[in-house]
Amino acid sequence: MLHIVNKSPTERSALASCLAHARKGGAVLLIEDAVYAATKGSAAQASVERALRELPVYALGPDLDARGMGASVIDGVKVVDYGGFVDLVIEHRTSQSWL
Amino acid sequence: MTQVAEDIEREAGAEAVVKKFMFVNRKAPHGTIYALEGLEVVLISAAFDQDVSLAFLDDGVYQLLKGQETKAIGVKNFSPTYRALEGYDVEKLYVERESLEARGISEQQLLVAVQVVSAGEMAELMEQQDVIISS
């Protein structure tokens, strides 16, 4: 399952809830304000790094760039473009948005 | 199956394919429109004879509390609709135990019979679905 999160981790609990339910074999994609979770020094950094031990975490490059965060991505988080977003959706049997 | 669903199926000329749909509710009922809109979609999908289940976690568990009185805030009290779901053959309602506990809610305070499951069991149920729709 591909888990898609679009809310800032410091404003909403969507990412925390997502990470509590994501399983090995799945993947997490951070888009829109959720990309802040993929940046160094964020309050969510530890939980993202913990998640990375179990499954891949991706962040959408255009959303990072738009927020001036393109150079601050946590090691291990993979940055994808819109084409990569589509590839992830295709690679996983199901997708779930954590609104 | 409803007449509308039958007509659509005949027009499509397709064999009925039953998929597992889970509607995931994570929002409290009246502060945003998510819960009401989500419930409307559940009722629509029930007309198409799919394998439908509902999941309630995080603030979504507040949707199922007994005794909601919305008259004074001028919005529709749609909470009785959850009790009508059985009539649409929507009988799988899963509520996450950790979410209830974090909010001081007991199963007895819920307005409909549900299956209380752990976060781990909820994750497993999500994995089993063909389609997940979040609201």
Domain boundaries, given as residue ranges, for chain B: 18-134
CB contact under 8 A, A98 and B134: yes
Mean pLDDT value across residues B3-22: 73
Q: Does A89 touch chain B (CB under 8 A)?
A: no
Its sign, for the CA torsion B81, B84, B89, B92, is positive
Residue A21 touches partner B, C-beta closer than 8 Å: yes
Those of residues 115-134 in B touching chain A at CB distance below 8 A are 119, 122-123, 126-127, 129-132, 134
CATH code assigned to B18-134: 3.40.1260.10
For residue A18, the chain B residue with the least C-alpha distance is B123
Of B42, B1, B47, which Cα lies nearest the Cα of B21? B42
Is A96 in Cβ contact with B26 (below 8 Å)? no
Predicted ipTM of the assembly: 0.80
A 10 A CB-CB count for B5 gives: 16
* DSSP annotation of B63: G
Q: Using the 8-state DSSP alphabet, how is residue B3 labeled? A: H
Tell whether B41 is within 8 A of chain A (Cβ).
no
Q: What is the mean pLDDT of residues B83-90?
A: 94
Q: What domain count does chain A have?
A: 1
pLDDT of B88-105, one tens digit each?
Answer: 999 999 999 999 999 999
pTM reported for the whole predicted model: 0.85
Q: Is residue B13 very low, low, confident or very high in pLDDT (cuts 50, 70, 90)? A: low
Q: Is the Cβ–Cβ distance between B97 and B114 less than 8 Å?
A: no
Q: Which residues of chain A have a CB within 8 Å of the CB of B135?
A: 99
**Stronger pLDDT, B22 or B30, i.e. the higher one:** B22
In A1-99, where do the E strands start and end? 2-5, 27-30, 57-60, 78-80, 95-98
pLDDT of B6 strictly over 70: no
Which domain does A12 fall in, by range? 2-98
Tens digit of each residue's pLDDT (9 = 90 or more) over A26-48: 999 999 999 999 999 999 999 99
> Which one has a higher pLDDT value, B72 or A47?
A47
H-type alpha helices, B72-118: 81-84, 97-102
Q: Quote the pLDDT of residue A72.
A: 92
Position with higher pLDDT, B4 vs A1: A1
CB spacing of A99 vs B134 below 8 angstroms:
yes
Query: Lowest-pLDDT range, B12-16, B36-40, B119-123?
Result: B12-16
Q: Looking at residues A74-93, what average pLDDT do you find?
A: 98
pLDDT of A87 reads 98
CATH number for position A81: 3.40.1260.10
